[in-house]
Amino acid sequence: MVSDSKISINETPVHNLPSISNISTHFMQQIAPKEVLLATAVIKAQAKNGQFYLLRALLDQGSQASFITESAVQLLGLRKTLNKSIISGLGGDKGVLASKYNVEVLVQSNHDHNFEMEAQAHVLRTITSLLPSTKIQKVDWPQLFSLNLADPHYSTPSKIDILLGADVYGDVIKVGLVRDPNGGLTAQFTALGWVLSGPTNLVNEEIAAQTQCHHNLILSMHTQTQIDDNELLKRFWQLDSDSDSDNTKILSEEETRCEEFYAKTTQRSETGRYVVRLPFKETDPQCKYGRSRDIAIKRLRLLEQRFKKNPELKARYSAVMQEYLDLGHMEHVTVKDKDPLECVYLPHHGVIREDKTTTKVRVVFDASCKGTNGISLNQTLMVGPKLQQDLRHIIMRWRMHPICLSADIVKMYRQVVVTDADADFQRLVWREDEESEIKDYRLIRVTFGTACAPYLAVKTLQQLAIDEHKECPDVAEKIITDYYVDDLLTGCETVEEGLRI
């Protein structure tokens, strides 16, 4: 059983950590001449905004608890509560995973509109691989055509979004059982429709050609409680659960605050562009009292000395700054707009990238430069949590696709607008040549060099996927799982599918 102690996501305990339950789940899928169907169903799950989305569920009576994928949680916008659990499957501790959050999800039947239930589910990165493991022939069982199947596409390999365990299994099961007279396949009547399970007695040549037995882990659970706190911490933080652990990291207090701040303050303009606030640690950031304009002017003059030695750098640098203005990513300001003493000025310099075929000079804004009070902009900003998988996990999954696709987002950071109030924390000084007057500008987009820029850019990309999931569900899922910063590494089964993506 799972420990009942729950902590709201906006509370991050440091001491008196709750005991962890050991949850072990047994599910085995064998690659053998006979394909064994597991009980799957298409359900409706309610999102935070009240809308319902279709999810594919696995009914597993051998699991003490229910589980849901992180991508499904993001899609539904569910609130996560901290409830750390150790989950083990076949082989005991050798197969340990960590689940650090629970969610409550409202489930409705896709067939019986009078049926709904609430399920408590542990959040995992993934539950299992595609089910079934390979596409199988349609079952030669005429009676199936008269049954209202819970999963009409049971024969096509598809991902599992949620696992409904023994904790809710009794709520969905109903009286009614039909067996295939030609084999071991069974149809069980449930509130979700008729679910199919058992061996199909169909020989798939692709499966038969494989001799290695393949085991997919899911869960069958017994509980261990009263774990010593030191042992608890040791086991919890040393879990080697590959990408699952990477994406279920417990948020620190600051990371939690950053997530909540983004959710409360981010807006979307009429044009569809996202407008964000800079996530400051304090309501009155001290960096603005550092008289940073004088420092920025000194750094500009040093940069101009560098330009004298390298005219080509000067030309490229000026072109980049002009592009900022032309694209509306930077705007001119005057003293009348706001007192410079209440703003933060960012020194800037150029980084030459000869490997690039287009923009060979990148302008880097130094948000770590300290003002006269010894405080920089970056010191006052929250960095935000890691939101994406490690690159190695994305590449490993990418290489498994029959057709691999890659793409990137042009000027990803600068696609996100910063509010007017916070843009004054991103001021700079610039002039085309030493004979011209030094002018003040401010950056009105998320700026490379600020501590929060990676978080704001990636979070906004994922928010776009959530907001547009109804229109493009397949693409939205790939945005969540297959992006590493601004690089997309995904794939598909056919050329036609690739063109749709």
pLDDT tens for 96-142 read: 566 778 999 999 998 888 898 999 999 998 888 888 887 877 667 77
Q: Is the pLDDT assigned to residue 205 strictly greater than 70? A: no
DSSP 277-318: ---BSSSS-GGGGS-HHHHHHHHHHHHHHHHHH-HHHHHHHH
Q: What is the pLDDT of residue 438?
A: 94
- Which stretch of 339-348, 364-373, 402-411, 423-432 has the lowest confidence by average pLDDT? 339-348
The owner of tokens 């493009």 is 472
Q: Exposed, middle or buried: residue 237 (CB in 10 Å: 0-12, 13-18, 19+)? A: exposed
DSSP run (H or E) holding 91: none
- Tens digit of pLDDT for each residue in 262-310? 999 999 999 999 999 999 999 999 999 999 999 999 999 999 999 999 9
CA neighbor of 93 nearest in space, from 238, 248, 246: 238
Helix axes 453-467, 253-265, angle to 10 degrees: 50
How confident is the model at residue 227, as a pLDDT? 44
Contact 287, 380 (CB under 8 A): yes
Q: What is the DSSP string of 381-398?
A: B------S--HHHHHHHH
Domains and their CATH numbers in the chain: 36-203+217-227 (2.40.70.10), 253-500 (3.10.10.10)
Could you tell me which residues come within 8 angstroms of residue 342 by beta carbon, excluding any fewer than 6 positions away? 288, 424
pLDDT tens readout for residues 155-199: 888 899 999 999 999 999 999 998 888 777 889 999 999 999 988
> How much is the pLDDT for 211?
35
In Å, the largest CA–CA distance within the chain is 93
pLDDT above 90 for 396: no
Closest CA to 243 of 70, 130, 93, 125: 125
User: What is the rounded average pLDDT of the residues 70-89?
Assistant: 83
Average pLDDT over residues 368-373: 94
What residues contact 311, with CB distance under 8 A and at least 6 apart? none
* Dihedral sign, Cα of residue 93, residue 36, residue 159, residue 70: negative
* pLDDT tens sequence across 464-486: 999 988 888 888 888 888 999 99
Q: Which two tokens stand for residue 394?
A: 């994305």
